[in-house]
Structure 1
Amino acid sequence: MSIFGKLSFKDQAFKLREDSILDATTGILATKGFDLMTMDDVANLIGISKPSLYKHFKSKEDLVGSTMLRLLDAATQQLEQLPASLSAQAKLAALLEWALRVRLEGGLPFLPSTSAHVREMLMRNLKYVGKVIKLNSQLEKLVQQAQKAGDLNPDLPSDVILYSYYARTCDPAVEYLQRFSKMKPDDIVRHMLRVCFAGLK
């Protein structure tokens, strides 16, 4: 049974509006960033009043925190849905492919990597910190397993590989290829995955 099957009509409408607010916030953050985004921007894009927006989220910080939490939940769910039969490297590649596709659709703002203020704000959000630690631990184990299997360079510190992997999710090459090349999204994703796991050799 879906979550909506357990909610009243009023609660369903509230949840759907909240999802729309988070979708709008994601898009605005991806284009304008945290500092330039306003609550008015979000309310206007959704077509609701600002007081209605504040019924869902008490502040801009609360709204952005919820947006990033939803993104972390989606990444964790994506990773946990992968078949157990996949190798560790294949799981890392599948998650990166998902992230790149979400990003090409404008659904993956990279706030922590672009703003010290946002990093500090998110570090005060205990739910966010807990989910980051959990996902990081899962990915670190996959990196180590892939190194033991010989699929990733065992001579490199696992931290170097892990943070290089994170960097691929916010590589500006993706935007340049999307804007200035004639490649389709599938080709961009395929080439970025190859660069990540096979290098430029």
Structure 2
Amino acid sequence: MAQSLSLKERQRKEREDLILQVTQDILFEQGYHQMSMDEIASRVGIAKGTLYLHFQHKEDLVTELFARRLYSFQEMVEQAMATPGSPRERLICVLDSMLLYLSDKYAHFMYAYHNNLELASLLQAKLSQPFTCIRQGIATLLEEGKQVGEFEASLPTFVMVQTFFSVLSPLAYTHVLRENPQLTPEELSGYLKRIYFQGITAHR
């Protein structure tokens, strides 16, 4: 049975959650280089020394922010993978979950920072495990689908996995919606699923 947190521990956790929320807001508003520990402390309403008790550097803040979002994303994808159904049905659930994630206003922004050359090495070194687990899970679903005849067995699985993630490019997703205001996210989701699955479904 999990031990309940003390009042002091709960307060520390709540303060840390608030620090990360403020960090995310400032990153979204100003960018990484303009963000300062002074402003974060000021917005949270704590002394700068208190902020340093939680995070020594703003790099630590960004890494923790990405880690929390990414592990939450991994959990969401794994739940979709565990839903009842055929490999194809479960992969559709995974795609739906990922497209739902893309509808979050911070998704494109976080994706851009993950691909920022200056931060990429720091983030990839510490956050590679969730990405690896997600890719392996999708590869497993594709292999299962091949075995039961749902997916084309002659297509290399690694190519199918890469294509799957290409369909989910946040840059392309937001661009299409911005350039086509009459298109709803739900409609775009349906089109992307048709493009992907009709391209890999075995012909019978």
Do the aligned partners of residues 151 and 179 (structure 1) sit closer, same or farther apart at CA in structure 2, a change above 3 Å counting?
same
Query: TM-score, structure 1 length as denominator?
Result: 0.75
Say whether the 8 Å CA contact 1:33–1:111 is kept in structure 2: no
Say whether the 8 Å CA contact 2:19–2:44 is kept in structure 1: yes
Show CA shifts across 1:136-191 (max 9, x none).
32222122222333333322211111122222332423212333413333333333
Question: Which segment drifts farther, 17-26 or 162-171?
Answer: 17-26
Partner residue in 2 for 1:21: 19
1:1-201 equivalences under 5 Å are: 6-26=4-24, 29=27, 34=32, 37-39=35-37, 42-43=40-41, 46=44, 48=46, 50-82=48-80, 83-108=82-107, 109-111=110-112, 114-125=115-126, 128-180=127-179, 181-198=181-198
**What count of residue pairs does the alignment treat as equivalent?**
195
C-alpha distance in 2, partners of 1:95/1:45? 37
Say whether the 8 Å CA contact 1:34–1:111 is kept in structure 2: no
Partner residue in 1 for 2:202: none
Say whether the 8 Å CA contact 2:143–2:157 is kept in structure 1: yes
C-alpha distance in 1, partners of 2:57/2:20? 13
Q: 1:40: how far off?
A: 5.2
Do the aligned partners of residues 90 and 44 (structure 1) sit closer, same or farther apart at CA in structure 2, a change above 3 Å counting?
farther
Do the aligned partners of residues 42 and 25 (structure 1) sit closer, same or farther apart at CA in structure 2, a change above 3 Å counting?
same
RMSD, aligned CA:
3.1
Question: Which segment drifts farther, 130-139 or 19-28?
Answer: 19-28
SS in 2 for 1:134: helix
Structure 2: gaps spanning 5 or more residues: 200-204
Q: Determine which structure has greater relative contact order: mean sequence separation of CA pairs < 8 Å that are 6+ residues apart, divided by chain length.
A: 1
C-alpha distance in 1, partners of 2:188/2:178? 11
> Identity, % of aligned pairs?
26
Q: 1:55: how far off?
A: 2.6
Say whether the 8 Å CA contact 1:30–1:110 is kept in structure 2: no
Say whether the 8 Å CA contact 2:88–2:150 is kept in structure 1: yes
Do the aligned partners of residues 68 and 133 (structure 1) sit closer, same or farther apart at CA in structure 2, a change above 3 Å counting?
same
Show CA shifts across 1:18-66 (max 9, x none).
2333344445556766556554565566555544433322222222222
Question: Which segment drifts farther, 68-77 or 33-42?
Answer: 33-42
